[in-house]
A and B are shown apart, each in its own frame.
Chain A
Amino acid sequence: MYNAYFLPSPMTPNECITFDPEKCIGCNTCVDVCRCDVLMPNPEKGKEPIVMYPDECWFCGACVSDCPKGACRLNHPVNQRIAWKRKETGEIFRVKYSYMK
C-alpha cells in the first residue's frame, strides 16, 4: 500500500503526544488536564483522544503525568532532542521515543 491521501500538511511538531491504544480506556483525563486543549475527545467513545492542535503543545507533561493507565507518551520535536556520552566507554546515545529502534 502506498499513501495518497487528500490532506493538508500539518505544522510540526506532528506527534507531540502518542497513545498506546491497547492501554488507553478513553477516559479523557489527559484531555481535561491539558491547559491548551491540544487534545480532543475521540468521536468514537472509549477510544484514545485526537491530538488536534499539536503545534500548540507546551510539552508540560501534565497529560502523561495524570493518565491513570500510563497510556500516553510525550515526544519532543526532532529539533529538541539531545545526546549524551557514557563516561566509561565514550559511547554516544540520544533521546529516543517508544516507536524508534
Chain B
Amino acid sequence: MDFRRFLMEKTQFKWPYPVNYEKENREECDVLVVGGGLAGAFAAINAAKKGARVIVTDKGAIVRSGCAGTGIDHWGNAFTSPCSTNTPDDMLTSPGDPYSPEFARYIGMKESYEAALELESYGMAIRDEKDEFKGAPFRDEETKLMFAYDYKNKHTLRLPGGEQMKPVLYKEMKRLGIKMFDRVMTTSLLTEDGKQGGRVIGATGVNTRTGEFYVFSAKSTILSTGKPLRLWDFATELVGSNAHHDDPNSAGDGDVMAWRAGAKLMMMDRTHSTSAGRRYPAYMTGNMDNTWRPASIVDATGKEIPWEDRDGNILTSVEERNKVGEGQKMMSAGGSKVPYAMRAPTLIHDLQQRIESGEYKMPFYADMTNLPDEERRAVFGLMLGNEGKTKVPVVETLRNSGFDPEKDMLQANVLPPEYMGKDEPWWDVKYPGIGGPNIRDTSFIGGGGLVVDWSLKTSLDGLYAAGNQIAGFSGASNAAATGRYAGRNAAVAAGKVEQLPVSEEQIAEEKKRVYAFVQRQEGYGWKEIQFGLCRIMQDYCGDYRSGEVMEMGLWWLNSIRENELANAVAANPHDLGKILDVDNRLTVDQIVITQSLSRKASSPRMGTVRLDYPENGDNCGYYQTLRQENGETVVEELPFYYWREEGSCREAYEKHCCL
C-alpha cells in the first residue's frame, strides 16, 4: 500500500470544503472572461461599462491572481501622457518586426496611460501625491508623475500604488456587479452545435475546492489565461513554484481550449533557455538593471564596475545611467541582447575578460550606499516595494533580516565570468541558460498564442483574446490596454447576436473527461507525470531539434496520454485542477512539437535550431498557423504583417477601437 493510499484510508481529517462532484451550475452572460489577471480584469470592467452582463472565472483568487497579483513596478508605453516626448505613431518603425504584433503594441501605446488613469480613478496611486520625490530627476513637477529608466522621453511610469493593482481592480469589478468565480478552472469552450470550428458560445469549468461543475453560456468569450509555463522544467522540489517567473497557474489552458475548439495559434515553438530551478527569488540578489537601475555594482574588493553607453563610452555619473543616446526615442532594460535602437547604458561589455584577467574579483555586490538619496529610495521603496513578488518576499525579508540600503551592499549571485553583468536580470539568467542544456521557457520573450485581428477577435466567431494570450505579446500595460480594447469589442459584438443553445452532448463529454480522474482509487500522481512530460520536451524538443527526434517526441506524448495520464488519479478537487493542468500541458507540448516540426527551418527568432534544416527561415515572409479541423491538424500560411491590410495603425485603430 503506498503512503497516499494509507493516509486516504486512515486519516481522520476530511477535505475542508464541501465536495459536490458532478453538481451542475448554469450561468448566462453577454461576455464571459476566462482568466481574471490584468488583461481579464480590464476586459471585464470595460465590457461592463459598455452595458454588458459580465462573468469572470479564474483558477486562483481574482483579488490577487495573475502575474501582476502582488504588483507591478513599471508601467510601459505611456505614450499619450502629457509628459511623453513621443506619440504612439512616432514609435511605429518601418519595416517593423514581424514577430512582434505591431497592432497589439499600438493598442498598448494608445491605451497604456488611459489604463493608468483608470486605475487612479479606482483608487490606486499613480502619482507622487505625497511629494516624497519632489525635485527628483525622474519626477514631472506639474503632474507629479514619475518615470523609470529613460528620464528624458518619460514613457515608462513608476507606480507608487502598483502593489495594490489587483485589489483595486477587484473592488471595481464588485462595484460594477460583475459576477466573479474564484477557483473555477475553465476546462473547455462550448461551440455552436458542439462542432470544432463553430461559433464559441460559452465554456465549462470545475471548482477546484468543491469539485462542482459550471456551464457558462455567453454571446462573446474573452480568453486571458496567460502563457503556458513549465513545459521543459518543473522544479518544485527545489524552490516551489518560484522556479518560473510567471504565474504558476499558467498552464496554457486558453491555448488548449481554443485549440480544441478549432482556433488558430502561431509562434507556439518560441522559447529561450532558462535558469528554471537554479534561479534566485526575483529581484532579491544584487542587480543594476530593470527594477534595480541605476544601482552601482562593486567587486569583492569594493572596486566599482564602470557603466558604458550603447556606443561603448564610459559613463562617469549615476545620472547618465538613465540617459538615452543622441536621437534615441526609447530605451529598454535587458542589457546587451536589446537591439541597438533600444539599448540602454549597461555595465562594460568586456567585463568577462576583465574578471578572467583578475582585474575584478567575485563576488559582486549591488551598492546603493552612494546613490543619490531619491534613487536609492526609488529602487528599494518605489520599485521593490511595488513590483510583483517583491514587497513582502524581498523588501520585508531583507529589512527583517537587518539589511539597510544606506549601509549594506547586496550580493549578486555568483555566475561563471561569461555571464556576469550580461543580460540582466542576474537572478534569472535565462538567456545564457544556466539551468543547463535543453531547459527552455516561453515567458518573458513574447511566446506563442492565439492569432487575432484588429478587433482582438480570434479565428473563431465569438472568441477574443487579450494580454499574454495573444501570440508574441506580453507586459503589464499591454495586458491592461488589450484587455480594455477586447472588452469593448466583445461587448459590442455581444449586442448584435442572440444567445445560442449549448450542446448537451458536448457538456456530457467534458464532464466525463474531467471527472474520470477523481473516480480512480490508485494511479499516477500529477507531479510524476509532469516531470515525465518535461523529460520528453527536454530530450525530443530541446536546444537542437530534428524531424526524427521530434516525431519520436510526439510518439512519446501520445503514449503517455494513453497510458500514464489515462491512469492518473486525483485525491481531491485541488489535485483534479493540477491533473487537468498536466493534461493541458501535454496538449501544449504536442502543439509546440507540431509547430516546430512543420517549420522546416532553423529560426533564431523562435530560438529553434534544426539539425536537419540549418538554414535561417526567419525571413520567409509568412507565419505558420496551426488549427484543428475534424480532429486533424491543419498547417496554414499567414502573410507577415497581415494586420496592415486594414491600412495604417491609426486608421485601423480608429475603425475598431469601439470608443
Contacts and interface: CB of A to CB of B under 8 A. Distances in A.
Given A35-B64, A77-B238, A93-B403, A61 B392 contact: yes
B16 A95 contact: no
B65 to A, nearest CB: 5
A77 B407 contact: no
A86 B249 contact: no
Contact of B16 (A36, A41, A86, A98): A41
Interface string B398-412: 101111000111110
Interface string A16-57: 100000000000000011111100110100000000011111
What 5 A-B pairs are tightest by C-beta distance, nearest first? A61-B392, A35-B60, A62-B64, A55-B236, A57-B240
A82 B285 contact: yes
Given A86-B409, A93-B403, 15 more contacts: A8-B3, A11-B237, A33-B64, A36-B241, A53-B574, A54-B240, A57-B242, A59-B241, A59-B389, A82-B280, A82-B410, A84-B408, A85-B408, A93-B402, A97-B397
Nearest to B388: A60
10 contacts: A35-B61, A35-B248, A65-B392, A80-B242, A80-B280, A84-B408, A84-B410, A87-B367, A95-B397, A98-B400
B219 interface: no
A19 to B, nearest CB: 15
A93 B285 CA distance: 14
Nearest to A95: B401
A13 B240 contact: yes
A4 interface: no
A59 B242 contact: yes
Contacts of A93: 401-403, 408
Nearest to B278: A79
A85 B396 CA distance: 18
A12 interface: yes
B409 A87 contact: yes
A53 B63 CA distance: 20
Given A35-B61, A55-B236, A85 B389 contact: no
A86 B393 contact: no
A96 interface: yes
Chain A interface size, under 10 / 10 to 19 / 20 to 34 / 35 or more:
35 or more
Contact of B369 (A8, A16, A87): A87
A94 interface: yes
Interface of B: 3, 7, 13-14, 16, 59-61, 63-66, 69-70, 163, 182-183, 208-209, 236-242, 247-249, 280-281, 284-285, 302, 365, 367, 369, 388-389, 391-393, 396-398, 400-403, 407-411, 413, 574
Contacts of B367: 87
Nearest to A83: B411
A36 B70 contact: no
Contact of B240 (A33, A35, A55, A94): A55
Given A59-B242, A59-B393, A65-B163, A35 B237 contact: no
Nearest to B60: A35
A84 B70 contact: no
Given A56-B241, A59-B281, A85 B365 contact: yes
B36 to A, nearest CB: 11
A95 B14 CA distance: 37
A64 to B, nearest CB: 5
Given A35-B69, A57-B241, A58-B242, A80 B281 contact: yes
A42 B280 CA distance: 31
Nearest to B367: A87
A72 to B, nearest CB: 10
A56 to B, nearest CB: 6
Contact of B393 (A12, A36, A66, A74): A74
- Counting chain A CB atoms within 10 Å of each CB, the highest count among B64, B183, B237, B389 belongs to B64
Contacts of A53: 574
B369 A74 contact: no
Contacts of A56: 236, 240-241, 248
Contacts of B285: 82
A79 B238 contact: yes
A80 B277 CA distance: 10
A84 B411 CA distance: 5
Contacts of A58: 240-242, 247-248, 389
A3 B365 CA distance: 42
Contacts of A76: 242, 281, 284, 393, 397
A37 B183 contact: yes
**Which of A54, A77, A82 gathers the greatest number of chain B CB atoms within 10 Å?**
A82
A64 B240 contact: no
Nearest to A65: B392
A84 B365 contact: yes
A21 B14 CA distance: 22
A96 B285 CA distance: 15
Contacts of A40: 16
Contacts of A97: 397, 400-401
Contact of B248 (A36, A54, A64, A88): A36
Contacts of B249: 35-36
Given A32-B61, A87-B369, A12 B403 contact: no
B413 A85 contact: no
Given A37-B209, A58-B248, A95-B401, A64 B396 contact: yes
B281 A60 contact: no
A40 B574 CA distance: 11
B16 A43 contact: yes
A37 B576 CA distance: 13
A2 to B, nearest CB: 22
